[in-house]
């Protein structure tokens, strides 16, 4: 089972009319989208991916560069909370920094790691290309849809990492940044193996190395009406101002099974500079390795308030104030059982406290087993909590949403009060929406979200 990923804290590097403007994608709105998938389809597709942004400067693609940009951008100064109507806090800005996708593409050199951004250098030292090839040998082997296999490459994984400088970019509460990065990579592969793995006990390789055999959600493709953008009452129901062709289906694709139109829109905006690109061509997330891999990095780094991001939990940035449904603080203030908390983030409504002996219990226990196996593969000594994981360990955090909302201030359902006070972000459900947190907030809001300035009695905050 691959549960939908309700990830909505999207970061949108869109047009700002300055030197940081991404190269625009071709306008695909008029193109007919009619991609059929069948068992006789070749696994080779035209290589359509290209660098979508200008080149980054070395400073711009650094942690310091991202921090400075978030702190000084004038278009963030007037951003206010949807309900509190207060300016952004330091916690908000910290969340934005870590979820920030560069609106430019760092230059990478796989043959010379020292020429790459710091976080890419670290990833290459922990997961060299030989190990990457070893744990990705089943890429798309069980796929029946079109896949451009050469693009599922180590270089494209590094490209994805480079666009988000905080991935393997900070130590958090760990003694070293290497220890934090080992956990991030191990988690990335453990959850990927569960979501997309072959799960074939008869194979000679262990299951934790069988990840990424499927890039599309099983039994969905174009036949599952749950992902029909025209289905009234469905989470897949597309809403204005987004354009969702009837032939587009937003089932799970990519390394972390990106699901639902608003996730495709958010990821498309973050990495391609335009939310409509993947709404019109969602199967690119399965066909093109760069997008399949980048969607997993984006999920890993992006919070879904009140849930923190996987990154923030693993490195200890998320600090629960009191024990809450199993998410309790350790001596450093971070979450005590950090990987267990990531299971809750990914699929807690199903895999936390699962019925004994059920398939859900197996899915939950797989994640723990895959995680510890990957840590050992990366030569990471297990800490005290990780040493308690066994083949029968499952997530015991309370099902549903155990996260304490006040601890996550950055809320994607906020509206953004720009200079003229008329701009707002889409609110799909009370806690779901797209957050415009990167370049050009005013420009994007005015383009995508026409002014509907209304005021509730006694409240200066626009209503929805």
Task: Say how many Å lie between the first and final Cα of the chain, rounded.
Answer: 34
pLDDT, average across residues 229-247 = 71
CA dihedral 185, 188, 193, 194 (to 10 degrees): 140
In a domain, 11, yes or no: no
**Segments forming the whole domain that contains residue 135:** 54-216+256-448
| Secondary structure class of 105 (helix, strand, coil) | strand
By mean pLDDT, which of 60-69, 176-185, 292-301, 314-323 is the weakest?
314-323
* The pLDDT of residue 464: 22
CA dihedral 111, 117, 118, 121 (to 10 degrees): -20
**E strand residue ranges, 308-458:** 427-429, 432-433
The tally of domains found in the chain comes to: 1
Provide CB contacts within 8 A for 4, sequence distance 6+: 235, 252, 257, 259, 260
The more confidently predicted of residues 323 and 194 is 194
* 1-23: pLDDT as tens digits: 333 332 223 333 222 222 222 22
The pLDDT confidence band at residue 399, using thresholds 50, 70 and 90, is confident
* 245-273: pLDDT as tens digits: 888 888 999 999 998 887 888 788 788 87
By mean pLDDT, which of 108-112, 260-264, 311-315, 397-401 is the weakest?
397-401
The pLDDT confidence band at residue 398, using thresholds 50, 70 and 90, is confident
Cα 311 → chain centroid: 10
In a domain, 288, yes or no: yes
pLDDT, average across residues 36-58 = 53
The pLDDT confidence band at residue 234, using thresholds 50, 70 and 90, is low
In a domain, 30, yes or no: no
CATH number of the domain enclosing 400: 1.10.530.10
In a domain, 6, yes or no: no
In a domain, 31, yes or no: no
For 323, counting Cβ atoms within 10 Å of its Cβ (0-12 exposed, 13-18 middle, 19+ buried), the class is exposed
The b/e string for 383-411 (b: 16+ C-beta within 10 A; e otherwise) is: eeebeebeeebbbebeeeebbbeebbbbb
Rg of the chain taking only CA atoms, in angstroms:
21
Strands 427-429 and 104-105: unpaired
DSSP code per residue over 190-203: HHHHHHH----TTS
pLDDT, average across residues 35-64 = 60
Share of the chain above pLDDT 90, in %: 48
In a domain, 202, yes or no: yes
Cα 19 to Cα 100: distance, rounded to the nearest angstrom: 18
Q: Say if residues 330 and 197 touch (Cβ distance below 8 Å).
A: no
Strand partners, 329: 335
Q: Is the pTM of the predicted complex or chain greater than 0.85? A: no
In a domain, 36, yes or no: no
By mean pLDDT, which of 134-143, 331-340, 454-463 is the weakest?
454-463
Evaluate if residue 320 carries a pLDDT over 70: yes
In a domain, 23, yes or no: no
* The pLDDT of residue 449: 53
Alpha helices in 378-418 (DSSP H): none
Instruction: Pick the most confident of 108-117, 175-184, 327-336, 412-421.
Output: 175-184
* The pLDDT of residue 9: 31
Three-state SS string over 286-348 comes to HHEHHHHHHHHHHHHHCCECCECCHHHHHHCCCCCCCCECCECECCCCCECCHHHHHHHHHHH
Mean pLDDT, the chain, rounded, equals 76
Residue in 443, 460, 343, 464 with CA at minimum distance from that of residue 399 = 343
């Amino acid at each position: 089972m691959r549960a939908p990923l309700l990830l909505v804290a999207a970061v949108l590097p869109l047009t700002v009319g300055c030197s940081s403007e991404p190269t625009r994608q071709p306008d695909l709105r008029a193109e007919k989208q009619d991609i059929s998938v069948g068992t006789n389809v070749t696994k080779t597709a035209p290589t359509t991916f290209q660098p979508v942004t200008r080149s980054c400067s070395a400073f711009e693609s650094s942690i310091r560069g991202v921090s400075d940009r978030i702190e000084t951008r004038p278009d963030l100064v007037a951003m206010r909370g949807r309900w509190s109507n207060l300016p952004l806090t330091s916690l908000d800005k910290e969340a934005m920094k870590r979820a920030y996708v560069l609106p430019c593409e760092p230059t990478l050199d796989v043959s010379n790691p020292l020429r790459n951004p710091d976080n890419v250098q670290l990833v290459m030292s922990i997961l060299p290309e030989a190990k990457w090839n070893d744990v990705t040998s089943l890429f798309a082997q069980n796929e029946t849809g079109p896949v451009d296999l050469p693009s599922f490459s180590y270089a494209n994984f590094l490209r994805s990492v480079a666009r988000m400088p905080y991935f393997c970019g900070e130590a958090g509460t760990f003694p070293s940044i290497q220890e934090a990065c080992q956990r991030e990579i191990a988690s990335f592969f453990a959850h990927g193996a569960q979501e997309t793995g072959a799960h074939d006990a008869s194979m000679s390789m262990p299951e934790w190395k069988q990840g990424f055999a499927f890039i599309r959600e099983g039994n969905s493709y174009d036949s599952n009406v749950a992902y029909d953008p025209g289905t009234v009452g469905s989470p897949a129901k597309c809403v204005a101002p987004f354009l969702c062709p009837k032939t587009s289906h937003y089932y799970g694709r990519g390394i972390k099974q990106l699901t639902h139109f608003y996730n495709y829109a958010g990821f498309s905006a973050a990495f391609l500079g335009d939310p409509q690109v993947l709404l019109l061509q969602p199967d690119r997330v399965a066909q093109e390795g760069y997008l399949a891999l980048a969607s997993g990095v984006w999920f890993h780094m992006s919070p879904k308030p009140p849930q923190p991001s996987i990154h923030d939990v693993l490195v200890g940035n998320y600090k629960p104030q009191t024990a809450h449904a199993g998410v309790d603080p350790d001596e450093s203030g971070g979450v005590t059982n950090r990987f267990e908390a990531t299971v809750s983030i990914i699929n807690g409504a199903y895999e936390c406290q699962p019925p004994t002996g059920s398939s859900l219990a197996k899915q939950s226990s797989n994640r723990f087993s895959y995680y510890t196996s990957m840590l050992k593969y990366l030569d990471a000594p297990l800490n005290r909590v990780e040493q308690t994981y066994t083949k029968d360990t499952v997530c015991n955090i309370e099902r549903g949403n155990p996260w304490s909302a006040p601890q996550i201030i950055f809320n994607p359902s906020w509206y953004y009060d720009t200079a003229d006070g008329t701009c707002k972000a889409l609110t799909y459900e009370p806690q779901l929406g797209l957050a415009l947190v990167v370049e050009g907030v005013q420009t994007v809001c005015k383009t995508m979200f026409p002014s509907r300035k209304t005021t509730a009695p006694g409240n200066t905050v626009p209503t929805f």
